[in-house]
Amino acid sequence: MGVRLSDDYFGYACVKVARRWLRELEMDAVEVIAQDKTRAREIIFQYTDKDFSLCDACSFAVMERLGVSQAFAFDAHFAQYGWTVLRAE
């Protein structure tokens, strides 16, 4: 599972912000483990009124495991799940 930052997907402005953010901040990559995948499936089947992708649900599961409650996101899915969404200004 990878991150796709292409101009046609997010739009040029969003990609530009994301690339700047990724370049300027120090971050650790966190691997999705088996329990995250199991939890992601549970999330998808629990929230049948949402169109969360597997990538979204894996992110939610990892965030739950690590105790993270804030996300930098371009779509509404993280807020729909209840996370605080950080916006670039």
Cα separation values, 62 from 17, 34, 59, 68, Å: 23, 11, 5, 8
Of the two residues 23 and 15, the one the predictor is more confident about is 23
pLDDT digits (tens, 9 = 90+) for 38-84: 999 999 999 999 999 999 999 999 999 999 999 888 789 999 999 99
Contact 80, 50 (CB under 8 A): yes
Q: Which pair of tokens denotes residue 83?
A: 């996370």
| Cut 0.75: pTM above it | no
pLDDT number for residue 24: 83
Backbone angles phi and psi of 70, in degrees to 5: -125, 145
DSSP letter (8 states) at residue 27: -
Residues written for the chain: 89
pLDDT number for residue 79: 92
